[in-house]
Amino acid sequence: MKLLQLLNRIRLNGGEVEWREGQVFLKFRPGLLTAEEVEALRKGEAELSQLLRPKEESYLFKWSGEQLGQEVGLDCETTLIEDFELPKLVLVSVSDGQKTFILKPEQLEQFLQLHRDRTFVCHHTAFDFRVVEKFLPDSKLWWSIAEAGRLHDTMILDQLIGLAEADSYPRPRNLGQVAKQWAGMELNKDDPFRLRYAELLRKDWSSAEEGFFTYAAKDAEATVRSWQKMKLVAGKFSSVRTFGLLTEQLQTLASIALAEITANGMELDREMVQRNRDAFGDRIQDLIERLRQLPQAEGLFKKNRQKTLFLINETSGKPSISQKRLREILQAIAEEKDISPP
């Protein structure tokens, strides 16, 4: 007596056959099966489990809970962008330069939780950030990683290094160009798989073409390897560490904020603006009055020809300043403090 035939008979007669929480559940009307057939099902529970257990997908770079190193390259593959709408997330590739994996979207939250203390690197971070943020049911962890300064952008740092080294105008380069220079990796940005990821939404990944996974995996690996080389070069320049190497950390956060504003617009609290303007104006006026009382500031504020009234700047509404006198005052301070400003 074949168990598969009994299962098919149950299904054909309106019964239910399910695999749920690691167990077999059968529901059928009384009299459909003989006592011997019911007993055969009971004794064949192990075989039934094999028949009904969902077959696990197998594909290149599959992630099964492994941990990566401290710096993780992350790249999102999505459906095509249409009508300026944020596309759907199809897969996420991650790499520490040694180990590389492909995540299904439903694995992303688990991966981030497991790597919540890691540093993440993307290329054009503002895009990947928004795609991940939109997909996650709760994006607090993703935001906390960014706000802690542990989310970086190779596209931005590449531009800043060019600016620091040769004063070249900062123009964004694609990952293929960046990876070739910094990681020595060749990426084909004309690969046709790049535009076909929507197909993976409708198929079993076990039967998907390998090109989908090899293309995505290279992007994550190239991103983190480029970052690791770029850091060494950027570190040679005098950098304000608070804002990251060559201010990259600040620039990355700013790019995320700008992308949010571009997508959602920006509200202006007019009352708060006015309060801040008034408070700032009062503070400036107080400083002006204090400066007027200082003998060292004599001649700093311009006066009319009769030397009776201060000249007022039409734009700021504050007294105009003599740049020549300001330089003299600053030079005197520099000599007194024994410093040589440029």
Domains of the chain, earliest start first: 3-52 (no CATH), 71-264 (3.30.420.10), 285-337 (no CATH)
Rounded CA gap, 89 and 71, in Å? 22
Residue spans of alpha helices (H) in the chain? 3-12, 35-43, 45-52, 108-114, 125-135, 140-147, 154-166, 175-182, 211-234, 248-264, 270-292, 323-337
**pLDDT tens-digit map of 116-163:** 999 999 999 999 999 999 999 999 999 999 999 999 999 999 999 999
Residues in Cβ contact with 70 at an 8 Å cutoff, skipping those fewer than 6 apart: 96, 118, 119
As given in the structure block, the two tokens for residue 233 are 């070069």
| Strand (E) or helix (H) holding 153 | strand 151-153
pTM (predicted TM-score): 0.68
- Of 20-29, 152-161, 168-177, 276-285, the range with the lowest mean pLDDT is 20-29
